[in-house]
Structures are given as C-alpha cells and as structure tokens.
C-alpha cells in the first residue's frame, strides 16, 4: 500500500519530512501554507502536485491517508484535532500542544475517531538513544543538558521564523521525554523553575528541574536559549556503569564507543521515525511514540511551568 500524505507548514522541518517520506515510498500529494509564494516554491521543489492556503482545505484533498503537521507550535493541537476529525492519521511535529489540557484533548479525539497520532519525539529513534535503552540499565540518575543560542528565532536550517519558540514546551519536551523513556518511567514528581521572561521574546529562556520517578531514579535537566556555548548531552548513571551521550555518540565510562550516530544522528532518527509512521499507517496499527506515550512528559512540563 502506498500511503498518500499531506503536509501542513512548508518550513525547514517539513523539508526533512518530505525527503524522508518520499524516500520511504509515500506519495506526498499536497502541501498547505498561508504564504502562497513559499508554498508554491516548496511544492515545486518537491514535485508536490497540489497546494492549499489552509490546513482545512488540504484535509479535503481526495484520498489522503495521513498528514504531517509542521506548522508553528501554537497551531499543532487544533490542526491535529481537525485532521483526526477529517479521518486522517497524523504525524505531528513536537510539541503536540503547548498545554497539558490540549495534549490530553488530542489523545481523546484520537481515541474517539480511531485515527492515530504519532508525535515527532525524534530522539527515541536516534541510534545512540536506542542503544542506551536496549542496554536496560538500572539507571539511578539521568543528567541532561539542552543549551543553545536562540535569542533570535530561527528554524533548524537557520532561516528566520515569524513566530516565537518556547524553551520549555519545545526542547524541554524533547529532553524530558527522552529522560523518562530512558528511565522507563511514566510519571515523575517535579521540582523545577524557570527564569523570568526575557525582554527580547516575552518568554522565559532558561529552566531547570529535578524529576524523581517511581522507584527513586532522578533526572536533572537544564535548558537554555541564552547559551553561547551550546551543549546537548546526557550522562546516564547506574550503580555499576556510567554512560555519556554527546555529539551523536554513546560512550561507556572507559571511553568505549557503544553507538555512533555522528553529525547526522537526528536526521537519521527522523528517517527511522517517519518510516515507522508509514508502516503503522499502511498496516492499520498504532504507531510508535503515539500521543498517549508522550503525555507523561507533557504532565511534567505542565507541573514545571505552573507557578
């Protein structure tokens, strides 16, 4: 079965999704975006035959099986729900919503309609993370840093965007979900705080938290959009072993390389993620990393971000 896909939001991350989906044999049949010139250029670049101004118009395109939501974050929940009600399966870029209530609403509508929502928590599909999970260590502490310089709002390819990112709900969602997934936990007590809103964006740009999961494991998480010395790493501490995940490589405490995703770790993870989504749609089964799977991370973000 060749899965027919539509794409909402012709931005930088959509470029990667279209390449991954087409490479896996999907038919990318339509794209929607509010900027007609940008949408036309995107469609021409990828040989997409149909283009629309709105997501709702795209959802009416004949014979679609699924849609990728790659629009600005504030639209994810509403556009996903509308797609589900139109009878489509959804691969939604992270975050699925900017609040726990909206994420839970997406999960409820998915169950109600019988249509699935996969969420692009891509780290779950990256080779070093998969290797760390497969080792099944009894982790006592995960120390995770996601630090970057994002004082001006640019996408994954460096192009400026017309919307404001959120360190907690975007990169915090990646980091918290990865920590809980590696700890094998679906809940956590949260002790966290955020910095004051920054004048340049109106949002907090720094956040820190300690999570305690059932069984006593901890996750210590640091987030920043002010960091001029970027870092995106994990230290995984078990009683008998300590691993480090940095620069796309998983290292044992003696320096042995256990897995090497290299500079393309996340691109490869996205390819693996999108192939898994297509396979689930084609076979009619629940996808990996469905919306219900990421609700524990959304609950943590809700508690962390609530004064």
Fold of 123-262+298-305: Dihydrodipicolinate Reductase; domain 2 (3.30.360)
Residue 159: per-residue pLDDT: 62
pLDDT digits (tens, 9 = 90+) for 1-42: 689 999 999 999 999 999 999 999 999 999 999 999 999 999
Fold of 4-122+269-290: Rossmann fold (3.40.50)
pLDDT digits (tens, 9 = 90+) for 33-52: 999 999 999 999 999 999 99
Residue 154: per-residue pLDDT: 63
Task: Give the three-state DSSP class for 14.
Answer: helix
Residue 165: per-residue pLDDT: 82
Q: pTM of the predicted model, to two decimals?
A: 0.94
Sheet architecture: strand order including 242-246 = 189-194, 206-212, 218-224, 139-149, 226-238, 242-246, 249-252, 257-260
Residue 158 confidence (pLDDT) above 70: no
**Confidence tier at 193 by pLDDT (50, 70, 90):** very high
Domain with CATH 3.40.50.720 in the chain: 4-122+269-290
Average pLDDT, the chain: 95
Residue 121: per-residue pLDDT: 98
Residue 152: per-residue pLDDT: 78
Phi-psi sector, 128: left (phi>0), alpha (psi -120 to 50), beta: alpha
Task: Give the three-state DSSP class for 296.
Answer: helix
Residue 1: per-residue pLDDT: 63
pLDDT digits (tens, 9 = 90+) for 196-255: 999 988 999 999 999 999 999 999 999 999 999 999 999 999 999 999 999 999 999 999
Residue 91 confidence (pLDDT) above 90: yes
Answer for the pair 113, 301: CB distance below 8 angstroms, yes or no: no
Domain with CATH 3.30.360.10 in the chain: 123-262+298-305
**Confidence tier at 307 by pLDDT (50, 70, 90):** confident
Pairing verdict, β 226-238 and 218-224: unpaired
């Amino acid at each position: 079965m060749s899965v027919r896909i539509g794409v909402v939001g012709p931005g930088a991350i959509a470029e990667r999704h279209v390449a991954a989906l087409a490479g896996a044999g999907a038919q990318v049949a339509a794209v929607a975006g509010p900027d007609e010139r940008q949408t036309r250029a995107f469609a021409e670049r990828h040989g997409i035959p149909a283009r629309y101004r709105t997501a709702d118009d795209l959802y009416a395109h004949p014979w679609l099986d699924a849609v990728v939501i790659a629009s600005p974050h504030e639209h994810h929940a509403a556009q996903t729900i509308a797609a589900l009600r139109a009878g489509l399966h959804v691969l939604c870029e992270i975050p699925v919503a900017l609040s726990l209530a909206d994420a839970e609403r997406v999960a409820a509508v998915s169950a109600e309609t019988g249509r699935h929502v996969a969420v692009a928590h891509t780290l779950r599909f990256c080779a070093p993370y998969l290797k760390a999970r497969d080792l099944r260590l009894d982790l006592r502490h995960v120390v995770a840093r996601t630090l970057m310089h994002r004082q001006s709002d640019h996408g994954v390819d460096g192009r400026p965007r017309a919307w404001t990112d959120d360190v907690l709900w975007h990169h915090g969602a990646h980091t918290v979900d990865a920590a809980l997934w590696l700890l094998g936990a679906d809940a956590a007590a949260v002790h966290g705080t955020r910095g004051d809103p920054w004048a340049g964006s109106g949002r907090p740009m720094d956040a820190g938290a300690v999570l305690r999961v059932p069984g006593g494991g901890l996750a210590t998480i640091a987030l920043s959009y002010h960091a001029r010395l970027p870092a995106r790493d994990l230290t995984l501490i078990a009683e008998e072993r300590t691993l480090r995940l940095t620069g796309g490589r998983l290292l044992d405490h003696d320096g042995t390389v256990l897995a090497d995703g290299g500079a393309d770790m996340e691109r490869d993870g996205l390819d693996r993620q999108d192939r898994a989504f297509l396979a689930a749609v084609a076979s009619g089964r629940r996808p990996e990393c469905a919306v219900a799977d990421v609700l524990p991370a959304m609950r943590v973000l809700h508690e962390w971000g609530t004064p």
